[in-house]
Structure 1
Amino acid sequence: MELFFLLMLLVVMGTALGSGYPVAFALPGSAILTVGAAALVGLLLEGSTAAYFANGGPSQWLSAGVTNLRGVYWEPERDTLIAIPLFIFMGIMLQRSKIAEDLLVNMAQLFGPIPGGLGISVIVVGALLAATTGIVGATVVAMGMISLPAMMRNGYSNSLSSGVIAASGTLGQIIPPSIVLIILADQLASAVDQAGTSRTELYKVATGELTMPSEFAIVSTSAGDMFLGALVPGLLLVAIYILYVLAIAILRPKMAPAVPYEGKYDAAFIGNVLLAMIPPLALILLVLGSIIAGVATVNQAGAIGAVGAMVMAGYRLHPKGRPGRFTPAIIAAVGLALVAWTLANYNTNVLNMQTASDRMGVTLAAIGVGLIVISIIWSGIRAFTNEDALTGVMVETAKTTSLVFIILLGAAMLTAAFRAFGGEELVKHFLEGLPGGFWTKFIIVMTVIFVLGFFLDFIEIAVVVVPIVAPILLADPEANVSAVWLGVMIGLNIQTSFLTPPFGFALFYLRGVAPAALKTIQIYKGVVAFILLQILALIIVAFNPPLVNYLPARTSLTAETAPPPVNPALQYCIEEYIADAFDTRGPQISAAIETARGLDVSYLPENLRDDWIEGLDKAATAIPMMAEIQTIQQRLRDGAVDYRPEHTIVRGLQRDMLIRTKEIADLRLRASRGFGDSEAQTARADALQSEVDALQAQIPATWEDTQATYNVLNKENETARNLYRRTVDQAYGPVMDMKAVIASTDALEAIRAPIAALVADAPGMDGDTADVRFKEVESMLGDVDGGREIRGLLADARKEIDDRSPDPERAMAYLAEAQALFDTQMAWRTRAATELLPGVTAYDDAIRDTIGLRQQPRLPRAQALEVASCAAHHRDISLNF
């Protein structure tokens, strides 16, 4: 019966959507009706409302709905959705202020004389508007009203014209900032958690280990990562569109002729072009640049975009010819420049103002912020009073945002119902039962999404399909894809939903503003080529994951908040880099180690000297250890040739057995509780058990030996890597200790006088005075590397003075010993600073980026770029499961 109600859920939803019923109510309505019907029928026929639910019952479904409601509105960890109204406001404000029209007109005049130039200008403007507005309807309508008549008048093919405009208008769905990417990031955050749990369980079942190494974990994504990941694929799509138009213009000139500009290319023309282009480009730089540079979060960037759009609207809506048109924008620019200059040259931490320079920096920053606030208020007043633009924009923003959030909540209710009737398990079992591994599942899912795009909007696909299929794809260790790559791939696929008939929204928008001379069939024919181009881009990105993964990885590893090099998730790529470095610079590193052995450390304290020598011995073994790791790695690759086919067969059989085993457990549980026909369920469970036994018999007799052989190699690899990591950490530790001790020589010298004062005054001190004065000096020594022994002697002397039975003589003995130790330390430290430090520094420079890399506070830029390049590729880890 669960299958019946699952089918009912899909039929009710499809009927509601197909009949034109609002999506915001069709999704939750179908869930409520189906859940209610299942509960009622279960109560009437079986005496339990939960009888026809595969997972829980109506109460669990209601609880899941409440949890999703809280997740959207009240969980501070999921604040990504706050950016949605901000970017919607930015897009509608730029559209209402007619900045898009200015761009189109000027770009058409600039590129028109080139063959296909008018079409190229539409694509370029579409890309610029995508990076500012992201509103497909507004972009298509604006370009359709302005560019389409011009293209038709100048002899452009009707189908090519409509295809260029419709496709360019959809770029806002993949070029950031994009509402689609924000929604996908939100949905994928939950999918990553589910996939992580599934992968951990898979690892536990396959290996028997209780915990999975973190290097096999699935990395989550955020809206910022999605923006960065989609940037290159979006630009790739723009480039493909432009190349297509150029090819048409060259091969079939009559379809895309050059359009000469009748005016003059004078200073006025250049001024108009710059005025139309520079503000949107500046806004793109502020919004996307702040995210890429790590200066702002997505929400903060959205606020920047909303404010910037209003400032731009402030001068665009102001009547031409009236004085002071650009004054608010100029004030904002001056304020921004002042803030940027102040941040670069002053400390602006209000809570840490100490000097006159600090106060000057805070004052200048406050003036800059004040100028920006004045500009915002001024521009807002202009937008409010001119054409009632601000009111209209706020109303449209509220409507669109409400629609998005209601759909999110409705989809959450629908997804919960789908899972309650066992739909997710059915999908999972179907996909996992397919031959061909991950890529078969991925192609099936992408095909389904593409077909759904013919009938559903991007939001419905993102919030209904993604939560169901994304955990399954992300959990698969074969391809081990990143969440950001999967999100961008789905985003590229969803983008085609705007172009695919019969319900492609871009086609409807264009049809609404196109002249009667342009037939609907011509619009449909025109978008076919661009749909194929989008599929081409999808294939290119699928086979080149670094196009998506590199920029987020690079930004993460070069940011101030970058994870330290000891992060387990980075070790594989770090060791790949170090192996290459040892291959190319091994002799130089070995020579540096031998040179360091020749340094005179005989006068150092025994512990420091022994640590130094032991560290050099361990450093000398690092290169051979890495060579051994590479040898084991090759043996693993060779062993995988025989192990992988058998592993694939056995894991497939075990997966099928697990599916049947779960169904057996469910059937026997339902039979024991009296739900349904107990005899039929028991018979079905017995039949399934026979199938399990048959599958078990198909496992090759050699499997245990084959697995044991490969696991030995895997264990050797793990042991060798762990040993290497411990060795290099121990090898580099003495270098850091040595440099720290020598560097603290001046700090120790500064304590000479306080120690001498303690020695002089100690005989006459009482307990309270000694407690204060000694602890003050002890605290000073606590900040000096290698000062622990002196500090301990001072503490012993203080205790003798402050004891119930003071012993001044013993206290003075401790003080004399401390002073002697101080003089000894100053002697060898001073000598080491002159004789030893240059050699230690040269040795550190030679090994810091290899042997000492794990102990750095963060990856140096060059190494971060190498590791980011490695991490951008997906690594098959399935043989570890």
Structure 2
Amino acid sequence: MELVFLLILILLMVIALGSGYPVAFALPGSAILTIGLAAAAGHLFAGNPDAYFHSGGPSAWLSAGVTNLRGVYWEPERDTLIAIPLFIFMGIMLQRSKIAEDLLVTMAQLFGPIPGGLGIAVVFVGALLAATTGIVGATVVAMGLISLPAMMRHNYSQPLATGAIAASGTLGQIIPPSIVLIILADQLASAVDQADTARKVLYRQSTGEVAMPSEYGVVSTSAGDMFLGALVPGLMLVGLYILFILTVALLRPRLAPAVPYEGKYDIRFAGQVVLTLLPPLTLIFLVLGSIIGGIATVNQAGAIGAAGAMIMAGYRLHNGGRMTYVPALLAIAGLVLTAFVLANYSVNIKSIVTDADRMGLTLAIVAVAILSVALVWSGMRAYRNENTLVEVMSDTAKTTSLVFIILLGAAMLTAAFRAFGGEELVKDFLNGLPGGFWMKFVIVMAVIFVLGFFLDFIEIAVVVVPIVSPILLADPEANVTAVWLGVMIGLNIQTSFLTPPFGFALFYLRGVAPAAIRTIQMYKGVVAFISLQLLALGIVGLYPPLVNYLPTRASLTAETAPPPLNPKLQYCMENFVHDRFQRDGDAIRAAIEEFSKVDLSYLPKGLAGDLKDGLESASESFDLMAEIKAVEQRLDAAAVEYRPLHRTVRAIERDAGNLEERIDILRTRVERAREESPAIERAKERIAELEARRDEILSGIPAAWDAAHDTFNEITKAERNARNAYRRAVDSAYKPIIDIRDVLAGTDALRELEAPLNQLVADLPTLEGEAGEDRLKAEEARVGAVPGAGEIRSLLAKARREIRGRAPDPAKAAEFVQEALAEYQAEVAWRTRAVAELAPALARYDAAIRDTIGLRNQPRLPREQALYVAACSAVHRDISLNF
């Protein structure tokens, strides 16, 4: 019966959407009605309102829906949601300020003489507007009103002209900043948690181990990562559009003829191009550059974009005159002053101490005041010019409300879908497909593509993505990242604006296109561009680094980069070290051999012993790395035969596990029944049937499985042991270098303690009781601040305990202080010699092994290693045989 009510849920939603009922009410309304019908049917026909739910009951799932609603509504601190109204405001303000018109006219004049130049100009401007406005309707309408008549006048092919305009207008959905990417990031954030939990359960079931290694966890995403990941695919799509138009123009010039510019390409025209392009490009640089550089979060970048759009609107909407650009110039001056202050002063109010700090704070206040004046001035201009500011804010509120209300409605619908086992049904269907992850992925992409013919991108993002993405992300076979999956879905969803019959870009263009252009010509025109979008989808699918590299690189090179000890970085770091061993192994061995000849006899036994042990470990690291690669080769060879058997057995166990889950639900229902009834009897019979089917499925596991599994696990364990042995060796090889380096760095600080210690010896006869204890405690603290002076501090502590104890012994205290002074003098002596003799050799040795053997113990990855690890991590790695 759950399936019946699941079909009712889908049918109600389809009827509501098809009848034109508002999406925001169609989604939750369908959910509430279906849950109510199921509860009523259960009460009437089974005597239990919970009878026709997959698990739980109507109150539980209505509460789950309300919880989902509350989660969206009461968590505005998530940057993915805060950024939405900011970027919407930026886009609408730029559209109302006629920046798009200026760009289109200027770019058409610039590219016109090139074959297909007008079409190329449309694509170029579409890409710029995508990176600033990101609003499909505004972009398509603006380009349709300005470019389409010009293209028709110059005998452009109707399908090519309309297709180029419609497709270019949709670039805002994939080129950041994009509302689609923000929504996808928000939906994928929870999907990652679900997928990671599912993967941990799978690992525990498959291996019997309680904890899954963190390097096998699902890689999460954020709106900033989505922006970075979508940047290259978006630009690639722009390149495909331009290449297609240029190819058509060259092969069939009559379809896209060149349009000579009637004016002159002189200094004045160049100035016009610069003045038109520079502000939007600057805004793009500020918004995306602040995210890429790690300077601002996505919501902060949205605020930058909104402020920048206000400044641009301030001079564009002005009637002209000498004061036209004054607000913009003030804003530039404020930004320059802000950059100067940040580069030269500390502006942390809590750390203001010197006059220089106060000067920096004063300049920062002045810079903020200048920016505020520029913003208020620009806002007043926008307000006074045809009430533009009020209209923009009103449209922003409407669009933002639309997005949030759909998010809320989708949360209720998702709860109802899960109530009737829809999620389990989809999961069982996808996991039951032959071909592994890629078959599941292709099916999901095909479903999203088909849904794009009928549904808006928001509806697909908030209804479909939460259901299918946890299933795809949890699969360890492809081990895809959330940012890659999000960008792939975003590219796919982008086609929804072009696919008939409900392609919104087509509707927008139809509304402004001349009557002479038939709708069928528009449909023909978008076919080629839909094909190009699918081609881009295929390219990104086959080469994931196009998406993964930039976010990973930004993460590893940022100030907040994870330390090299992070478990998720070890695989790629060890690949880097192996490559360096192959290239520079002889030089590193020579450095180890050279340092082993250094005289360490005068060092304390502990430090000397640690350095000698570290040298042995450094030498062993080469053999241990070779052992890792040898075991890897054994794994690759064994996987050839083991993989098909593993896939077969895991499929059998998965099917049996699905039946076991259904058995558990029925058992729970029987256990909670207050009395026997026909429904309970049917449940017991169903349990028996399912148990028999489960046992029959499990009997299909091949007899060779246990032996093959044990053999492969032995090799896997050997690889894990080899990696752990290597990591222990390099850690023990480099840690003594860190210790001795810190000790030698404190030599000058140690010398400064001579006078206080001598004074302590002189004053000790007069010290007693609490005063003596305080004096010794102060000296302890001073000595303790020097690295490696622990023995001196220990002797002073003993003296302090003799000064004021149950039986004070001043003579014993004086003896301990004298020992501390002798220890101090010995410490200064060997440190002084080590600084002169050992430090240069240690520096050469450190430089030789720091970036390989010592890589794990660095505070952060050096740039070369970070770029290597970013490129390595950008490739998806199959880890399914570990499950």
TMscore range, shorter length: over 0.9
1:395/1:76 CA distance change after superposition, 3 Å: closer
Residue 347 of structure 1, CA deviation: 1.9
- Corresponding residue number in structure 2 for 1:196: 196
Look up the SS of the partner of 1:602 in the other structure: coil
- Corresponding residue number in structure 2 for 1:265: 265
Q: Is the 8 A contact 1:71 1:78 kept in 2?
A: no
Q: Does 2:506 match 1:504?
A: no
Distance 1:548 1:670 in 2: 46
- Corresponding residue number in structure 1 for 2:280: 280
Residue 691 of structure 1, CA deviation: 2.5
- Corresponding residue number in structure 2 for 1:57: 57
- Corresponding residue number in structure 2 for 1:656: 655
Residue 680 of structure 1, CA deviation: 4.2
Map residues 541-560 of structure 1 onto 2, 5 A cutoff: 541-560=540-559
RMSD: 1.2
Residue 389 of structure 1, CA deviation: 0.5
- The C-alpha deviation readout for 1:803-825, integer Å capped at 9, x for no partner, is 34322211111111111111111
- The C-alpha deviation readout for 1:59-97, integer Å capped at 9, x for no partner, is 111221222123212236634201000000000000001
- The C-alpha deviation readout for 1:383-426, integer Å capped at 9, x for no partner, is 11111110000000000000000000000100000000000000
Residue 669 of structure 1, CA deviation: 4.3
- The C-alpha deviation readout for 1:451-481, integer Å capped at 9, x for no partner, is 0000000000000000000000000000000
- The C-alpha deviation readout for 1:31-86, integer Å capped at 9, x for no partner, is 11111111122122222221111121121112212221232122366342010000
Amino acid at match of 2:152: M
- Corresponding residue number in structure 2 for 1:799: 801
- Corresponding residue number in structure 2 for 1:443: 442
- Corresponding residue number in structure 2 for 1:517: 516
Distance 1:679 1:733 in 2: 68
- The C-alpha deviation readout for 1:705-750, integer Å capped at 9, x for no partner, is 0000000000101111111111111110001111111111011111
Amino acid at match of 1:762: L
- Corresponding residue number in structure 1 for 2:372: 373
- Corresponding residue number in structure 2 for 1:832: 834
Q: Does 2:431 match 1:432?
A: yes
Map residues 259-408 of structure 1 onto 2, 5 A cutoff: 259-320=259-320, 322-408=321-407
Look up the SS of the partner of 1:516 in the other structure: coil
Look up the SS of the partner of 1:56 in the other structure: coil
Q: Does 2:728 match 1:726?
A: yes
- Which segment is superposed worse, 743-752 or 684-693? 684-693
- The C-alpha deviation readout for 1:462-512, integer Å capped at 9, x for no partner, is 000000000000000000000000000000000000000000000000000
Distance 2:583 2:573 in 1: 15
Residue 670 of structure 1, CA deviation: 4.0
Q: Is the 8 A contact 1:51 1:675 kept in 2?
A: no
Residue 774 of structure 1, CA deviation: 2.1
Distance 1:487 1:160 in 2: 30
Distance 1:551 1:675 in 2: 61
1:76/1:844 CA distance change after superposition, 3 Å: farther
Map residues 859-874 of structure 1 onto 2, 5 A cutoff: 859-874=861-876
Distance 2:66 2:756 in 1: 65
- Corresponding residue number in structure 2 for 1:748: 750
Look up the SS of the partner of 1:846 in the other structure: helix
Distance 2:143 2:46 in 1: 60
Q: Is the 8 A contact 1:671 1:677 kept in 2?
A: no
Residue 683 of structure 1, CA deviation: 3.8
1:142/1:108 CA distance change after superposition, 3 Å: same
- Corresponding residue number in structure 1 for 2:719: 717
Look up the SS of the partner of 2:221 in the other structure: coil
Distance 1:75 1:249 in 2: 51
Q: Is the 8 A contact 1:166 1:527 kept in 2?
A: yes
Distance 2:723 2:429 in 1: 38
Q: Is the 8 A contact 1:767 1:801 kept in 2?
A: yes
Amino acid at match of 1:840: L
Map residues 77-96 of structure 1 onto 2, 5 A cutoff: 78-96=78-96
Amino acid at match of 1:388: N
Q: Is the 8 A contact 2:803 2:810 kept in 1?
A: yes
Look up the SS of the partner of 1:836 in the other structure: helix
Distance 2:86 2:218 in 1: 30
- Corresponding residue number in structure 2 for 1:530: 529
- The C-alpha deviation readout for 1:16-45, integer Å capped at 9, x for no partner, is 111111111111111111111111221222
Amino acid at match of 1:617: E
Look up the SS of the partner of 1:209 in the other structure: coil
Distance 2:77 2:313 in 1: 33
- Corresponding residue number in structure 1 for 2:624: 625
Look up the SS of the partner of 2:699 in the other structure: helix
- Corresponding residue number in structure 2 for 1:611: 610
Q: Does 2:772 match 1:770?
A: yes
Residue 759 of structure 1, CA deviation: 1.1
Map residues 461-476 of structure 1 onto 2, 5 A cutoff: 461-476=460-475
- Which segment is superposed worse, 677-686 or 149-158? 677-686
Look up the SS of the partner of 1:261 in the other structure: coil
Distance 1:239 1:585 in 2: 41
Distance 1:806 1:666 in 2: 74
Distance 1:422 1:648 in 2: 26
Amino acid at match of 1:609: A
Where structure 2 has 5 or more consecutive residues not aligned to the other structure, the ranges are none
Distance 1:129 1:77 in 2: 28
Q: Does 2:589 match 1:587?
A: no
Look up the SS of the partner of 2:220 in the other structure: coil
- Corresponding residue number in structure 1 for 2:248: 248
Residue 671 of structure 1, CA deviation: 5.2
Residue 180 of structure 1, CA deviation: 0.4
- Which segment is superposed worse, 137-146 or 379-388? 379-388
Q: Is the 8 A contact 1:161 1:526 kept in 2?
A: yes
Q: Is the 8 A contact 1:158 1:518 kept in 2?
A: yes
- Corresponding residue number in structure 1 for 2:879: 877
Distance 1:512 1:736 in 2: 70
Distance 1:767 1:506 in 2: 87
Distance 2:362 2:864 in 1: 38
Amino acid at match of 1:511: R
Distance 1:657 1:650 in 2: 11
Residue 577 of structure 1, CA deviation: 1.0
Distance 1:792 1:701 in 2: 66
- The C-alpha deviation readout for 1:657-701, integer Å capped at 9, x for no partner, is 112222233344445635764444444433333322222222111
